[in-house]
């Protein structure tokens, strides 16, 4: 890792800081060679052990403090860290000048210890400040992960390091306390460091890895030094002396390594359970180890092990609570309409099952299904954002009206539902109030609602049957009270005029209309689209009013000129219907009702999905009815033969998906009632 950091630093243009760090690293390398391999011989021992050693410490101190002064980011943290390293370096200098050699300390306290111990609180504060940049994005689980990791590591260290130090400690209480101050300080430093790494989501990056390596090297050096001094085996000039300058130089390199930009971290992989599990095993292992006949844990190790177990328990409780919160939130999302905040179809079905169990003949429940009139036109006129805002307003009013008696739901699109107990409310008054809540008028628009009411269990007692019956009643009422009554009157006039001239085509129109409506339901079309489709199916041949009888009733095949005239009937039908603005959507379908899927139809040569879906459905149903009905120019064929012919021409003349949906409708005309639970687009014929 150290080589990689230096390589990345040197790839850029050398700066004074990188050159100085390279100088420190080179000096450390020479110092390690002399200490371990006696590079330069014994005559240079004094130079390296006193001069080079302290020069490396003060050089690293200068690098850290300079970074804190010159760079604004994390300035205070690195200044405090530099102050701690400076205090350590002063302690080493004092030790070199006044205690080393013939005045080697006998274990009693000295001013050098004051400088040494001042290093720890400075590091604690600096680490807290450095990790502060992560606090805004920090989740409490990551706090706990860091704390648990630090406690687990400290428990193992305390169990292994403190017993031999205590067993060989001698002198008065102050000397023993001084001997323990260093390992305890290192243990706390270990907790702080690992905790900080945990707060990064266990993705520390180079800076934190360098800091952690520095603290680990320092802790190892202190532990060996204390053990050797306690057992009177310490001597100068060994590999141990290399660890302290290595530690501070690692800190200096960390100070000048580019600081990563804090990112929001979430632990969602194996690390979520691995750190608490390993830490718990460390704590349990330490407790087991301490109960062996030949071993005994110190109070510090027992406290740390206990704290680790408690922290893991808190982490477990927090995780369970968080998961339960997520589960509740997921359930609410699954049962709530995101636009209006009302319950959705899934919640309604669940509540219907409950209502069916609780409802009694003397205490019935009522279900009311609503469908907005005029909403599609409003959406097309004012745009979808305005339509969404309208739905939110209406749903809020509906919910407020029925709240004392029951629950409101949004089924999707412009459909709503209310379920309430009849014992709590007057049905007529509640329905009237709910219908008023779903009304809104303004310049250029008027919205109201049709509805269907079902009593539970008097009429039906199964959710599927309840929805189907409510659906049927809603659309029967919608047909009777539709806002576009003028459109119906105009449609009736056109149909009557057409039937007066061509009475033989009346059954054809009725058959096409019935099959088209069934096909539209199978394709999950909205209520208003189904309405337009039904009108277009009834009026798709209205343009034939302008076709001469000689052509329309010709017993034999038409010639080319006659076909050209015949193909104009869709355009003529469009012109007739366009005279009424309310029938313009119908006119568009009538114009396209003879377009082929492969583009060979008329009048516009549209192909594939360029042809409106309703027109594709009408084309299939019209062809089927024509083949199964006796005409002046052809005899009827069976339904099976007609269906076979439709499938043969699927992909060229007809939309293959519409053909299969039509075939499914033809072969299974009676759907199970449960179909209404899947989608309200499957409308019963009116």
Which phi and psi (to 5°) does residue 376 adopt?
-60, -40
Q: Which residues contact 13 (CB under 8 A, 6 or more apart)?
A: none
| pLDDT (mean) for 417-435 | 84
Which of 207, 200, 188 is CA-nearest to residue 252?
207
Report cis status (omega within 30 of 0) of the bond before 603.
yes
Got the DSSP string for 172-238?
-HHHHHHHHHHHHHHHHHHHHHHHHHHHTTS--HHHHHHHHHHHHHHHHHHHHHHHHHHTT---SSS
Please report how the helices 485-501 and 527-539 are oriented relative to each other, as an axis angle in degrees rounded to 10. Answer: 20
- Output the pLDDT for position 681: 27
Give, for 454, the enclosing helix (H) or strand (E): strand 445-456
- Output the pLDDT for position 672: 36
275: three-class secondary structure by DSSP: helix
**CB 597 within 8 Å of CB 607:** yes
Provide the token pair at 324.
Answer: 């339960």
**pLDDT score of 421 more than 90:** no
- Output the pLDDT for position 12: 56
| pLDDT (mean) for 402-427 | 86
**pLDDT score of 104 more than 60:** no
| pLDDT (mean) for 321-338 | 77
Calpha distance 155→282 (Å, rounded): 7
Q: What is the pLDDT of residues 478-497, one digit of tens each?
A: 766 554 555 666 666 676 66
**pLDDT score of 471 more than 60:** yes
Provide the token pair at 78.
Answer: 């690195």
Sheet of strand 445-456, all strands in order from the earlier edge strand to the far edge:
406-412, 415-421, 365-373, 445-456, 440-442
* pTM score: 0.49
- Output the pLDDT for position 183: 82
**pLDDT score of 343 more than 60:** yes
How remote is the C-alpha of 399 from its chain's centroid? 29
83: three-class secondary structure by DSSP: helix
Q: What are the structural domains of the chain?
A: 2-321 (no CATH), 345-479 (3.30.70.270), 485-678 (1.10.3210.10)
The residue that leads in pLDDT, 607 or 633, is: 607
446: three-class secondary structure by DSSP: strand
Q: What is the pLDDT of residues 21-73, one digit of tens each?
A: 999 999 999 999 988 888 888 888 888 888 899 999 999 999 999 999 999 98
**Strands 406-412, 440-442: pairing kind:** unpaired
Please report how the helices 584-591 and 613-627 are oriented relative to each other, as an axis angle in degrees rounded to 10. Answer: 60
Q: What is the pLDDT of residues 627-669, one digit of tens each?
A: 888 766 667 888 889 889 999 999 999 999 889 888 887 776 5
Angle at 247 between CA 181 and CA 253, to 5 degrees: 140
Calpha distance 313→307 (Å, rounded): 10
Range with the poorest average pLDDT among 4-13, 445-454, 529-538, 633-642: 4-13
Please report how the helices 205-230 and 173-199 are oriented relative to each other, as an axis angle in degrees rounded to 10. Answer: 160
- Output the pLDDT for position 105: 47
**pLDDT score of 605 more than 60:** yes
Report cis status (omega within 30 of 0) of the bond before 457.
yes
Helices (H), 540-638: 549-552, 560-566, 569-578, 584-591, 613-627
Percent of the chain with pLDDT over 90: 24
Q: What is the pLDDT of residues 302-313, one digit of tens each?
A: 888 888 888 888
Calpha distance 360→355 (Å, rounded): 9
Which phi and psi (to 5°) does residue 38 adopt?
60, 40
**CB 183 within 8 Å of CB 229:** no
């Amino acid at each position: 890792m150290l080589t990689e950091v230096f390589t990345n630093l040197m790839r850029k243009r050398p700066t004074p800081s990188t050159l100085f760090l390279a100088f420190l690293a080179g000096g450390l390398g020479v110092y390690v060679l002399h200490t371990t391999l006696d590079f330069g011989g014994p005559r240079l021992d004094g130079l390296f052990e006193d001069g080079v050693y302290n020069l490396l410490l003060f050089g690293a101190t200068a690098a850290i403090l300079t970074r804190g002064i010159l760079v604004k980011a994390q300035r205070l943290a690195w200044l405090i860290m530099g102050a701690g390293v400076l205090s350590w370096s002063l302690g080493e200098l004092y030790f070199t000048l006044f205690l080393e050699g013939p005045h080697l300390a006998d274990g009693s306290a000295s001013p050098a210890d004051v400088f040494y111990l001042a290093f720890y609180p400075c590091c604690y504060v600096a680490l807290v400040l450095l990790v502060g940049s992560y606090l805004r994005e920090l989740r409490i689980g990551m706090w706990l992960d860091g704390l648990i990791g630090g406690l687990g590591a400290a428990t193992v260290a305390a169990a292994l390091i403190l017993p031999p130090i205590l067993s060989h400690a001698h002198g008065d209480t102050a000397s023993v306390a001084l001997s323990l101050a260093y390992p305890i300080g290192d243990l706390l430093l270990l907790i702080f460091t690992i905790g900080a790494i945990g707060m990064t989501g266990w993705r520390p990056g180079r800076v934190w890895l360098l800091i952690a390596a520095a603290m680990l090297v320092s802790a190892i050096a202190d532990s060996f030094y204390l053990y050797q001094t306690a057992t009177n085996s310490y001597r100068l000039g060994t590999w141990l002396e290399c660890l302290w300058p290595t530690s501070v130089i690692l800190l200096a390199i960390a100070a000048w390594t580019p600081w990563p930009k804090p990112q929001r971290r979430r632990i969602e992989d194996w690390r979520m359970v691995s750190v608490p599990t390993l830490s718990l095993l460390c704590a349990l292992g330490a407790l087991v180890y301490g109960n062996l006949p030949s071993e005994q844990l110190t109070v510090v190790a027992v406290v740390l092990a206990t704290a680790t177990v408690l922290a893991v328990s808190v982490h477990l409780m927090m995780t369970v609570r968080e998961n339960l919160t997520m589960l509740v939130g997921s359930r609410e999302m699954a049962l709530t309409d995101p636009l209006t905040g009302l319950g959705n179809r899934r919640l309604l079905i669940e509540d219907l099952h409950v209502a069916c169990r609780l409802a009694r003949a003397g205490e019935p429940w009522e279900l009311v299904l609503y469908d907005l009139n005029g909403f599609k036109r409003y959406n097309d006129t004012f745009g979808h954002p305005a339509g969404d805002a309208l739905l939110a307003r209406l749903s809020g009013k509906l919910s407020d009206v029925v709240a004392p008696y029951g629950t409101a739901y949004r089924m999707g699109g412009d459909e709503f539902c209310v379920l309430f107990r009849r014992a709590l409310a007057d049905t007529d008054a509640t329905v009237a109030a709910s219908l008023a809540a779903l009304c809104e008028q303004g310049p250029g628009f008027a919205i109201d609602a049709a509805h269907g009411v079902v009593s539970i269990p008097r009429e039906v007692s199964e959710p599927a049957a309840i929805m189907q019956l409510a659906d049927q009643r809603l659309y029967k009422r919608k047909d009777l009270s539709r806002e576009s009554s003028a459109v119906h009157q105009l449609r009736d006039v056109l149909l009557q005029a057409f039937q007066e001239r061509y009475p033989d085509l009346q059954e054809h129109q009725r058959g096409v209309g019935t099959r088209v409506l069934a096909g539209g339901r199978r394709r999950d079309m909205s209520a208003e689209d189904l309405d337009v489709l039904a009108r277009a199916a009834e009026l798709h041949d209205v343009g034939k009013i302008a076709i001469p009888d000689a052509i329309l009733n010709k017993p034999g095949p038409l010639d080319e000129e006659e076909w050209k005239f015949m193909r104009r009937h869709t355009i003529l039908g469009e012109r007739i219907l366009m005279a009424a603005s309310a029938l313009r959507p119908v006119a568009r379908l009538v114009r396209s009702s003879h377009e082929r899927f492969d583009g060979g139809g008329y009048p516009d040569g549209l192909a594939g999905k360029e042809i409106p879906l309703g027109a594709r459905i009408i084309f299939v149903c019209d062809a089927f009815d024509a083949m199964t009905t006796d005409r002046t120019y052809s005899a009827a064929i069976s339904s099976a033969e007609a269906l076979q012919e439709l499938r043969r021409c699927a992909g060229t003349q007809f939309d293959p998906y519409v053909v299969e949906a039509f075939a499914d409708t033809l072969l299974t005309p009676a759907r199970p009632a449960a179909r209404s639970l899947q989608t309200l687009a499957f409308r019963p014929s009116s």
